[in-house]
Amino acid sequence: MQSIVLLMWLALCTEQDIRERQIANFLTLGVAACALVWLFVTGHSWIGAEASDAGWALAIVMLLTLPGYMLGRFGADDVKLMGALALATSPQYVLGTFIGAGVSVVLWLLTRRRLWTLLNPKVKKRLQALTEQMGDKQAFVPYVLTGFLLTAVWIQ
């Protein structure tokens, strides 16, 4: 059940990231604040891990995302989203999400031309319009959603 709530949150963030290439603070910081309150009140993360595990997950996220942010590869929204996800889950979920996101990026890069030919013309037109508006900025959250989904299936 908890995974479904996180999947819905990530789906909302994905939709906004695809459309605007940024995520509203109330979606990232709001969930982070709720996860932090949940940690303090119950003593465990939303997913059921110990509070110390959520702290370790946050440390892992900072180690993996802050260098990318400083080099301009990650946006601040991506770092905040991953931090909120860390506070709500555990190191296993965070590492699995990163690995799953990496695998999904590689799969997308290898198969995007073939998949593009299979898409509905209306969907193609909409996606082309979105890409032209956004330029070179690549949405990261769709890959995070895929990575989290793969991790949730793997762990449960």
How many domains are there within the chain?
Answer: 1
Label residue 156 by pLDDT band (50, 70, 90): confident
pLDDT at 20: 85
Query: For residues 85 and 35, what is the distance between their CA atoms, to the nearest angstrom?
Result: 8
Average pLDDT value over all residues in the chain: 89
Label residue 74 by pLDDT band (50, 70, 90): confident
Read off the DSSP letter of residue 72: T
Which pLDDT tens digit goes with each residue over 9-57? 999 999 999 888 889 999 999 999 999 999 999 999 999 999 999 999 9
Query: For residues 93 and 91, what is the distance between their CA atoms, to the nearest angstrom?
Result: 5
Helix, strand, coil share (%) of the chain residues, nearest 5: 80, 0, 15
Shortest CA distance to 63 belongs to which of 86, 44, 93?
Answer: 86
pLDDT at 116: 78
pLDDT at 138: 78
Residue 149 belongs to domain spanning: 2-155
Label residue 113 by pLDDT band (50, 70, 90): confident
What's the pTM? 0.88
In the numeric block, the tokens 């909409």 are attached to 126
Share of the chain above pLDDT 70, in %: 92
Mean of the pLDDT values across residues 109-123?
A: 81
